[in-house]
Amino acid sequence: MSEEKLPTRAENFAEWYNQLVLRSEMADYAPVRGCMVVRPYGWALWENMTAALDKEFKATGHVNAAFPMLIPMSFMEKEKEHVAGFAPELAVVTHGGGEKLEEPYVVRPTSETIIGHMYAKWIKSWRDLPVLINQWGSVLRWEMRTKLFLRTAEFYWQEGHTAHASAEEAQEEMYRILDIYSNFAINEAALPVIKGYKSDTERFAGAVITTSIEGMMQDKKALQSATSHYFGQNFAKAFEIQYLDKNNTLQFCETSSWGLSTRMVGAIIMTHGDDAGLVLPPRIAPIQVVIVPIFKNDEEKNKVMEVANRIFAELKAAGIRLKMDDREGVTPGFKYNYWELRGVPIRVEVGPKDVEKDSVALARRDVPGRDGKSFVPQAGLVRAISGLLVEIQDSLLKRATAHRDANIHDPKSYDEMKSILESGWALSWWCESKTCEAKVKEDTKATTRVIPLDQPGGEGKCIVCGDKAVKKVYFAKAY
């Protein structure tokens, strides 16, 4: 409950972020290398996110299940690219029950291998397909440089793993999920993400196609917020996931996988937060409204609390997630700062004058100061607040979209691009060669983020080498 000010975003964006995560009690550092504790306030946000996503997964025919957190080391080695990609990040269990294990296990960094093993056992015929299973849980990757929510050794996510009869169906699945992710990011989290393909360099280890949604943070760095992969028959061949088709011929399945993690919590913080703290999108905010009663003596308290309690009951009955801050011994100003730090979308102030006038004061978290304040009648308050929550949600998305669009540029030359990439994104023609990609990275530290699904069509000249290019790509520095 420190009243010390946060560093500003302009002063030090990285430090603003870290301090904000800690002080708003979203998460804390754990006494385990590179790991975090997601505190109740952060977890409540994640629960709202998972509930919205889970509903969409189920509406599109997916079911949940649970696979072991340990994977036999030998499984990891069955798909060559996969093991090469993940080997450096593995945590290894060598002892169990007081004895050295004959074969070590790894703590899952992702579950393609063990789920592939089970699919090989379960899938026999075309009648068993598609298999559309999702798992909510955590995975562990021994990351070198960690940052709360954005990159931690253990992180929380869902991982979907599907098996299909044809390449077409598996790719449709990949795109279907990419749309679910994108719609979720835009409509629930107010993150104006861009959908696209990853370059070969940035692909998931073992994938044929990796798609992702990419967002721009306030510091103009890019953050990959979720990925959806098509594996072709890579994992099906490595794990012998086969089925008898309608002609009784044995075929390999085509598989996909896709994941969205607590990383997106970081995206929400870095997209919407301001110098006073979090700014949470109303649709997923753990607390949408906080009521702060204001009084100086018992007589005022009685009058004010009667109104505050009635309002609380009305809003609660309307399904609004809310909190009454009736703590004594702290000032209203302290409470304002406290809930601003925590990003609650609307503050309702009820004081003696409000009681007299049958009104209350509403303060919007997304518009600080007087501009965000309004005085509304107590009658019809549920409707006014419900409407304002929608307005705030829209406003956050518009603001983030405007910021994104103002910082995406179309450089005319490679030199111009280099200057743009110091603080912004470039959308440029690219010949798709690794050489040009590597040169950009060396010169600017920026990488290819996504080759957007929406392409202008036609062709142009690669911004780096000048050769023919048929795709535009986003270059940006990234988390």
Our finding on whether 22 is near a copy of itself (CB under 8 A) is no
433-464: buried (b, 16+ CB within 10 Å) or exposed (e) per residue? beebbeebeeebebbbbbbbeeeeeeeeebbb
Q: How many residues at the interface with a copy of itself, by CB under 8 A?
A: 53
Q: Which of 35, 361, 408, 453 binds a copy of itself (CB under 8 A)?
A: 35
Quote the least distance from Cβ 80 to a copy of itself, whole Å.
18
Residue placing its CB nearer to a copy of itself in the complex, 74 or 435: 74
Quote the least distance from Cβ 73 to a copy of itself, whole Å.
11
Our finding on whether 181 is near a copy of itself (CB under 8 A) is no
Q: Is 244 in contact with 125 (CB distance < 8 Å)? A: yes
User: Of 116-124, 194-202, 277-285, 406-414, which part binds a copy of itself (CB under 8 A)?
Assistant: 116-124
Look at phi and psi of residue 58 and say left if phi exceeds 0, alpha if psi is from -120 to 50, else beta: alpha
Q: Is 374 in contact with 362 (CB distance < 8 Å)? A: yes
Q: Which of 38, 209, 238, 478 binds a copy of itself (CB under 8 A)?
A: 38
165-193: buried (b, 16+ CB within 10 Å) or exposed (e) per residue? beeebbbebbbbbbbbbbebbbebbbbbb
The count of residues in the chain is: 479
Strand 27-29 to 460-461 pairing = unpaired
131-140 sheet: strands from edge to edge: 63-64, 131-140, 154-164, 254-261, 222-232, 209-216, 194-197, 451-452
Quote the least distance from Cβ 240 to a copy of itself, whole Å.
13
Place of tokens 């079911």: 63
Quote the least distance from Cβ 84 to a copy of itself, whole Å.
13
46-85: contacts with a copy of itself (CB under 8 A)? 47, 63-72, 75
Q: Which two tokens stand for residue 307?
A: 């109104």
Our finding on whether 246 is near a copy of itself (CB under 8 A) is no
Q: Is 128 in contact with 122 (CB distance < 8 Å)? A: yes
Q: Is 471 in contact with 450 (CB distance < 8 Å)? A: no
Our finding on whether 3 is near a copy of itself (CB under 8 A) is no
Alpha helix segments (H runs only) across 188-318: 234-239, 263-272, 298-317
Look at phi and psi of residue 248 and say left if phi exceeds 0, alpha if psi is from -120 to 50, else beta: left
Our finding on whether 14 is near a copy of itself (CB under 8 A) is no
Our finding on whether 176 is near a copy of itself (CB under 8 A) is no
Q: Which two tokens stand for residue 134?
A: 């999702």
Pattern 134-173, a copy of itself, x by CB under 8 A:
---xx-x-x-x---------x-x-----------------
Our finding on whether 302 is near a copy of itself (CB under 8 A) is no
Longest Cα pair distance anywhere in the chain, in angstroms?
84
Our finding on whether 226 is near a copy of itself (CB under 8 A) is no
Residue placing its CB nearer to a copy of itself in the complex, 97 or 369: 97
For residue 415, what are the CA distances in angstroms to 411, 443, 464, 465? 8, 10, 9, 12
Q: What angle do CA 264, 202, 211 make, to 5 degrees?
A: 60
User: Of 88-96, 189-197, 247-255, 342-350, which part binds a copy of itself (CB under 8 A)?
Assistant: 88-96
User: Of 39-47, 241-249, 353-361, 451-459, which part binds a copy of itself (CB under 8 A)?
Assistant: 39-47
Quote the least distance from Cβ 92 to a copy of itself, whole Å.
4
Q: Which two tokens stand for residue 393?
A: 């949600």
- Beta-ladder partners of 227: 212, 259
Quote the least distance from Cβ 163 to a copy of itself, whole Å.
13
Distance CA 251, CA 127 (A): 13
Quote the least distance from Cβ 2 to a copy of itself, whole Å.
11
Q: Which of 45, 83, 133, 213 binds a copy of itself (CB under 8 A)?
A: 133
User: Of 42-50, 273-281, 296-304, 466-474, which part binds a copy of itself (CB under 8 A)?
Assistant: 42-50
Our finding on whether 317 is near a copy of itself (CB under 8 A) is no
Residue placing its CB nearer to a copy of itself in the complex, 43 or 197: 43
Q: Which residues bind a copy of itself (CB under 8 A)?
A: 28, 30-33, 35-40, 42-44, 47, 63-72, 75, 87-98, 105, 107, 114, 117-118, 121-122, 133, 137-138, 140, 142, 144, 154, 156
